[in-house]
Amino acid sequence: MMRYFAPLAIFAVIVVIFAFGLHQAPRKDLVPSPLIGKPAPSFTLPSLADPTQTVSNAALHGHWYLLNVWGTWCISCRLEAPELLAIAHTGVVPVIGLDWKDSRSAAMRYLAQRGNPYQQIAFDPGGLEAIHWGVYGAPETFIVNPQGIIVYKYIGPITPGAWTRDFLPRLQAAQTVSGS
Amino acid sequence: MSRRAPLGALMLTLLALLAAPFAHAIAPTRMPTAALEARYERLIHNFRCMQCQDESLANSPVSLAADMRRQIRQMLLAGDTDQQIRHFFVARYGYFILFKPPFVLKTAWLWLAPGVLLAIGTVSALWVIRRRAALVAGDDEDEFLDDGLTGPRKHP
């Protein structure tokens, strides 16, 4: 009896492993960032809107902020744009833009057409700053706390669901801690 | 015409082969010295393109890979060691960026899994083979009796 049952049992185990692999395993395209829990790379970059000005995240020390990596060439960023505007509208946290490998004129046109959710936008046409942040696609969004530590990284366009599930709890928990 | 075309192609191929060493010498090298060029080539083959994920920086056409190659080039020119360049990328992208991750606690399973699986396979294969061999050697019919298929024995 056992010798008929054993292959079936092994098969059942393999089915469970494969089902887990297909549905539960972390997605291979979402590579966890080693920068979580580490100080955010400090940058001083030209401002997108005004090349004579600079945008520096040192000035944001003491405040929560989101760093959103985007570009006009990035189709997923267009999907994300309405949600970013909604986030900016709530006023929960300032959104800082990192315009990645883009042209200034295209970016300005894009923002004029679709609205600008960003408090400030750093311009990174060469893409070096994105490498410092471990960016490998757009959009990517980082949550940085008042101590300048990267708390979380979200890969892909932020959806309303992701905002309430992945962003708000982290920002609220942190605000009550800093508020007390 | 039809007889000459293959000959012409052959001549062209031979010519191209003869010219190959010169083509390399004529092409502008990206790095000032051969040693730096060799290190550059080795490094870009050992890093993963984070966008395509299964290609190296050397083979990837995406612009992020070009940015990373440029960064490697600049670090090499600035006198960074291979180790420093690896640290730079691992700190930002994690061990995933290395095609050959180091053996540390976090990656131990990756390196040990093939050996462990091979050992499990070998042990179970040996176990099955020994058991079968013992069955034949001992001519032990009990195994076949209780499976309910050896009909005649059930009705003596």
Cβ-defined contacts of B143-149 (< 8 Å, 24+): B147/A1, B147/A3
- Which among B51, B68, B96 is the nearest to A137, CB-wise? B51
Of A79-93, B51-65, B73-87, the poorest mean pLDDT is in B51-65
Q: Please list every residue in chain A whose beta carbon sits closer than 8 Å to the beta carbon of residue B71.
A: 128, 131
Residue-wise pLDDT for A141-153, tens only, equals 999 999 999 999 9
Mean pLDDT of chain B: 81
Q: Would the pLDDT of A28 be above 70?
A: no
Where do the domains of chain B lie? 4-102, 110-154
**What values do phi and psi take at A151, rounded to 5?**
-95, -30
Would the CB atoms of B93 and A134 count as touching at under 8 Å?
Answer: yes
Whether A34 has its CB under 8 Å from any CB of chain B: the answer is yes
> Which positions in chain A touch B94 (Cβ < 8 Å)?
31-34, 134
Q: Which of A1, A34, A127 sits opposite B64 (nearest CB)?
A: A127
**Residue holding tokens 């390196």?**
B111
Higher pLDDT, B40 or A178: B40
Residues whose CB falls within 8 Å of the CB of residue A80, separated by 6 or more in sequence, listed in order? A70, A139, A157, A158
CATH code 3.30.830.10 for A28-179: no
- In this prediction, residues A49-78 reach a mean pLDDT of 95
CA distance A153 to A34: 10
Is A128 in Cβ contact with B64 (below 8 Å)? no
Interchain CB distance below 8 Å, A34 and B92: yes
Q: Evaluate whether the domain defined by B4-102 bears CATH number 1.10.150.20.
A: no
Q: pLDDT tens, A115-127?
A: 999 999 999 999 9
Q: Are A148 and A67 in contact (CB under 8 A)?
A: no
Angle at B68 between CA B65 and CA B72, to 5 degrees: 135
User: Percentages helix, strand, coil for chain A, rounded to the nearest 5?
Assistant: 45, 20, 35
Whether chain B has a CB inside 8 Å of the CB on A30: the answer is no
Dihedral sign for Cα A88, A91, A95, A96, please: positive
> Could B93 and A133 be called an inter-chain contact, meaning their C-beta atoms sit closer than 8 Å?
no
Task: Tell me the pTM.
Answer: 0.76
Angle at A46 between CA A44 and CA A51, to 5 degrees: 155
Q: How confident is the model at residue B144 (pLDDT cuts 50, 70, 90)?
A: low
- 3-state per-residue secondary structure call for A110-136: HHHHHCCCCCEEEEECCCHHHHHCCCC
pLDDT tens-digit map of B99-128: 988 888 888 888 999 999 999 999 999 999
Running DSSP on this structure, what letter comes out for residue B140?
-
* A128/B contact by beta carbon, under 8 A: yes
Tokens 């990596």 map to which residue?
A: A69
Residues 6+ apart with CB under 8 A from A109: A72
Q: Nearest CA of chain B to the CA of A7: how many Å? A: 14
Collect all residues of chain B within an 8 Å Cβ-Cβ radius of residue A33.
93-94
Please check whether residue A98 is in contact with residue A118, taking contact to mean a CB–CB distance below 8 angstroms. Answer: no
pLDDT above 90: residue A97? yes
Tens digit of pLDDT for each residue in B29-40?
A: 578 899 999 999
pLDDT for the residue A99: 97
